[in-house]
Every structure is written in C-alpha cells, then in structure tokens.
Amino acid sequence: MGNLRITEWRKLPISLTELCINTTLRCGQSFRWRKSGEDEWSCTLHGRILSLRQDDKFLHYRAIFPSKPNRLLLTPPPSATPSAAESPSPEADDTLALIEHYFNLKPNLGQLYEDWATADANFKKKAPKFTGVRILKQDAWEALVGFICSSNNNIARISQMVEKLCTNYGPLIGHIGQTPYHDFPSASALTDSKVEQHLRQLGFGYRAKYLYQTALMVEEKGEGWLDGLRNPESPVLGAEPCSGGEFTDGGREGYRTAHEELLALQGVGPKVADCVCLMGLGWGEAVPVDTHVWQIAQRDYKFGKGKHSSLTKATYDAVANKFRSLWGKEAGWAHSVLFTADLKTFSERLVAKVEVKSEKVEVKSEEVEVKVEHDDVPLIPKIEETTVSKELKREADDERIARELQSRLTKRVTRSRAR
C-alpha cells in the first residue's frame, strides 16, 4: 500500500456564496464525505482520495492517488486519448475538472438564488443564511444506493451504512493517517447471493434485500442503463451536453421517463427516485417530497388541508408540481436550499435556538473544567471580517460559542462515564 502519489495543495478561486462545502457536504446529498482534519473534508472520488479546505476566497484541494492506479476504477471519458495517460502529472488538471464537474460549478448560483427569491417570498426569507448550497453531480449508482438506504432513516446512520458498504465491498484506494479510504462498490460487487444476509448482519435491516435485489436488476439491465436515464444537458464527466427537452410543471419528458424506470427497482419509491433523478442523473426539476418537505409545504405553502391533507401519491405530485411552477427548471435545487434550512444539524443558525442552547448550557457549565481544542469550529468565523455583514458576524459568533459549549458538555459527559 504505502506507495502513494500525493499532489500538492492547489486552489480554485470561488466565493462562499457560490459554493459552501461546509453546508453542501453536510446537507444529506452525499453520505460519504468525512472530516479528515481541522476544517478538512475528504472522500474517494474517481479512483483517488480528494481532500478539500475552503476559505472566503478559495477552495483548496489535493488528491492522493494509489501508486498503481486501478484501471478498473478509472472510467476515462470517451474523448480521453491513450497517449496522454503517461504525461508527467496529468492528475492535477484532471482533478480540477473532476471538482468542477462534481460540484456542478458551471451555473451562477448567486443569480439562481436571486431568481428563486424573486419568484418566492418564503425562499427570499429563508435562503440568506444558507447560501452556497450546490446540487452535487454524484455518480448515479452511488446516489441510488445511498437513497435506498435513506428510507425511514437518519443521516448519521445512512452515512454509517454507506461507509460499511465501501469498506466491505469497495476497493481500497489509500489511507489518511490510519483511516482507510475505500471507493464506492460497483453494482456487480453486490450481486453475490450472500450479500443480503451479510448486509443484515451489518445492520442494514430490511434495506439489505432492497440493495441486493436492486444490484441484481441494475446488472441485468446492463452497463449504461442507469446513465442512459441522465439529463443530456448534464452528461457524465467528459462528455458533451445537449438539449434536455421542453420544461413543464410536470417536468421534462426525459425526467418523467427516468423517474418511472427507477420505480421498478426494489426499495425505490417516488421520493428515492426523485433523489436519484436530481442528484445522480442531473434532472434539476426533480423535487423529492419527504417528511421535511411535506412539513415545509404545510407550514409555508398552504398544503395539508382538504384534498391534500395527507401525503398520498396525488399530494406528492401536487407538491412537486407546485414547487416546479414556482421555481422553474431547477426547482429541485431551490428545494434543497429550503430542505437544508430545515435540517436540525443547521438549526443553530436560527438565532432563537442558539439562545435556548446557550442558556441550557450555561447552567451546567459551572462544573466544566475541561479545556478543549476547537476541533469542530465551522469555517464561517474565520472569514467573517472580509465577507460577511455585521449581523451575520454576530450570528457566526453565536454559532461558534454554542458549538464550543456543546462540545465541552459532550466531553464532560464522556469523562464522567469513564470514572
């Protein structure tokens, strides 16, 4: 193993309103990113370990390649010329292209937020604290598996499950410190008849069967079936985009076809199908309506009465259509911003709750004697001077303080248990 090629840190100029990885990587789109250091995120991607840091002006990145790149893992674009493969260090440019693709950096996010805010007063009110949320262009198979795991589940456990899938069935790419990084397993890696029972053993519950059977079906449908459902405007890395068709409130024809085809898979209902369409297949109008979005629809968009009093299939479609008519072709993207704003993980950004938390903590903090390192401080406080308004700066401080106190509490609890 030990023989790895590590590129130096490089940087890409980008503002936090155009991309905020601290939000985007934690809002339940991808379940594989992990903290690999102070303000550093890492994940295996396209046959390498990609590490990221971000400040107010740059996204910093580096890649760690296996010494002998596993050709099976790298699926080069059709346009890649074999002769270029041996040039001195092609990985740098390759990694930049990978980042631009994966983080979907082409659209002007500031402009999109403006468009959505103009169309919708509720978006205008909620979005300012959740800027920089981008819809990732994830691998479709990975998205499919991740969201099959998501049913009746929470983000923490989904992430654990995906990690188990990688360590048990995915190829090892390398380590950061002692931590192994495996790539995501292919469908064919999950088609062995022992997989279902093994996954149950690993704590997947009833999703074990879904994953096994879906892997069988995807393999049977053949290589390229899943990517064949992509939005042609959003092709796989390296291919040329072309038109995706005409948009209506029901979505484009290609989207509806993809959605319908996905429903044939085990463990895939309308919500999971929409997640795959949006985050794995590039259909921006896919609006996954889950319990959170259903609550948002009731609270802020007058659903929950009369004909649409419960979340039936008909109500599901009505909610999704409503958001598509409101936000347009990238409705799923706008939906993700509001979804993120509603996640408990980020509730500390809402001032009222920070105050409650601080009070609660202060009572007990008298008996806290543990000094802690700032191991979980978000990036925002560091960059506040140049980019954020005073109001936001105060909130960022509140956030940091709340987290710090909470962190102390956690350590105290751990400690008293150890006695």
Partner DNA sequence: AAATACCCTTGTCA
Partner DNA sequence: ATGACAAGGGTAT
Which residues here bind DNA, judged by CB under 7 A?
27-29, 150-157, 200, 203-207, 209-210, 263, 265-273, 275, 288, 290-293, 310, 312-314, 336, 339, 343-344, 417
Q: What's the closest the beta carbon of residue 109 comes to DNA, in angstroms?
A: 17
Task: Decide if 415 contacts 372 (C-beta within 8 A).
Answer: no
Contact (Cβ atoms closer than 8 angstroms) between residue 42 and residue 60: no
What are 40's two structure tokens?
């550093």
Pairing of strands 172-176, 40-45: unpaired
Q: Within its chain, how far is the Cα of 405 from the centroid?
A: 27
Least distance (Å) between residue 328 CB and DNA: 18
* Closest to 274 in 3D by CA, of 187, 123, 150, 127: 150
C-alpha angle 286/289/315, rounded to 5°? 105
Structure tokens at 349: 């950004």
Q: How far apart are CA 130 and CA 418, in angstroms?
A: 39
Beta strands in 14-67 (DSSP E): 34-37, 40-45, 48-54, 58-66
The candidate with the shortest Cα–Cα distance to 132, out of 15, 17, 254, 276, is 17
Which of 345, 334, 232, 247 minimizes the C-alpha distance to 288?
A: 334
Which among 126, 271, 322, 357 is annotated as catalytic?
Answer: 271
Instruction: Confirm whether 271 is a catalytic residue.
Output: yes
Helices (H), 18-120: 21-24, 91-102, 109-119
Residues contacting residue 19 through CB under 8 Å, at least 6 positions apart: 54, 59, 103, 105, 109, 132, 134
Least Å from the CB of residue 137 to DNA: 14
Backbone angles phi, psi at 256, to 5 degrees: -65, -35
Active-site residue list: 271
